[in-house]
């Protein structure tokens, strides 16, 4: 039996995806274990699930950090605004609001990294974690460019409807098919390489509530499947030529799913 995959999970809300992954590990659908759960707020309901399963948990209180007037004094020593701005496209250093965004996030992310440090993990899953991770964090986790180590589940068929409310956006747009996506996390907003997707029909009688129900059910299945592929060492990134906006040719990293080894 291969060694178990050690998974760190970050959450913000009710944690039903976290629960699905915990269950899949218990049922051995994934040869893995959740080693810790981190939340961006103290009252994230999913923390109760961690407690129930005796999984160590921690909180990095983003709201407090964002409101902190003393942020300059708390910046991690290796935070380099020039480096972050060159990595993060569209980051205009002269825009003080954006600069503050990256500074507060670096303080929060340094706190998460610090709290994660004592856990040995091979993969971080974002399970309804509603905070953007910046290059400061991502580059400390991803050491090998071909095997990223942060996954996210998103409530839409990306690249349609990125952002914070995928099901609502798809519903209000009048989409006839809804779905969810598991992808690796890169510097953009829900732009990372797609690992797996699952769709469902949006019917005339559907409401936002029924769409969310169908969507979550699909998510629980899909996240388990994607994590299992990672655990089996079957996910790698390859670079492909693609059409960018305006017809420009760009290079895009995409996920290649390797055959199962016998």
154 catalytic, yes or no?
A: yes
Q: Which of 34, 59, 110, 153 binds ligand GAR (CB under 6 A)?
A: 153
**Of 215, 257, 219, which is closest to residue 236 (Cα–Cα)?**
257
Spatial separation of the C-alpha atoms in residues 7 and 30, rounded to whole Å: 11
Pair 37, 46: CB distance under 8 Å? yes
DSSP state of 132: P
Catalytic position from the list 154, 183, 198, 214: 154
* Closest by CA position to 160, among listed 172, 170, 147, 171: 170
Among 8, 17, 30, 237, binds ligand GAR (CB under 6 A): 17
Burial class of residue 106 (count of CB atoms within 10 Å of its CB; 0-12, 13-18, 19+): buried
Which member of 32, 135, 148, 155 binds ligand GAR (CB under 6 A)?
155
Pick 164 or 210: Cβ nearer ligand GAR: 164
SS3 per residue for 98-124:
HHHHHHHHHHHHHHHHHHHCCCCCCEE
Min CB(49)–ligand GAR separation in Å:
9
| Count of residues in contact with ligand GAR, rule CB under 6 A | 17
- Report how far residue 159's alpha carbon sits from residue 222's, in angstroms, rounded to the nearest whole number: 17
Note whether 16 binds ligand GAR by CB under 6 A: yes
Q: Which is nearer to ligand GAR, 74 or 217 (CB)?
A: 217
Of how many residues is the chain composed? Answer: 262
Question: By CB under 6 A, what part of segment 121-140 binds ligand GAR?
Answer: 127-128, 130
154 scored as a contact of ligand GAR (CB under 6 A) = yes
- x/- map, 21-60, ligand GAR, by CB under 6 A: -------------------------x--------------
* Per-residue tokens: 48: 């109760």
Active site residues: 154
Binding site for ligand GAR (CB under 6 A): 11, 13-17, 46, 127-128, 130, 153-155, 164, 166, 216, 219
């Amino acid at each position: 039996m291969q060694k178990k995959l050690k998974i760190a999970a970050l959450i913000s809300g009710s944690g039903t995806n976290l629960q699905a992954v915990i269950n899949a590990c218990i049922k051995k659908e994934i040869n893995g274990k959740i080693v810790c759960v981190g939340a961006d707020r103290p009252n994230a309901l999913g923390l109760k699930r961690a407690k129930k399963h005796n999984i160590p948990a921690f909180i990095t209180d983003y709201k407090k950090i964002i409101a902190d007037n003393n942020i300059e004094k708390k910046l991690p020593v290796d935070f380099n605004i020039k480096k972050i701005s060159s990595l993060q496209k569209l980051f205009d250093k002269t825009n003080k609001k954006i600069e503050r965004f990256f500074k507060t996030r670096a303080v929060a992310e340094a706190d998460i990294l610090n709290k994660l440090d004592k856990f040995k993990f091979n993969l971080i899953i974002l399970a309804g974690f509603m905070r953007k991770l910046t290059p400061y964090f991502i580059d400390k986790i991803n050491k090998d460019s071909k095997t990223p180590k942060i996954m996210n589940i998103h409530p839409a068929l990306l690249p349609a409807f990125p952002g914070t409310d995928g099901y609502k956006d798809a519903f209000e747009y009048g989409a006839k098919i809804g779905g969810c996506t598991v992808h690796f996390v890169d510097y953009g907003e829900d732009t990372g390489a797609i690992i797996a997707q699952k769709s469902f029909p949006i019917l005339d009688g559907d409401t936002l509530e029924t769409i969310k129900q169908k969507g979550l059910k699909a998510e629980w299945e899909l996240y388990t499947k994607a994590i299992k592929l990672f655990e089996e060492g079957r996910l790698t990134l390859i670079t492909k030529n693609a059409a960018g906006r305006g017809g420009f040719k760009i290079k895009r990293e995409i996920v290649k799913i390797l055959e199962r080894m016998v």
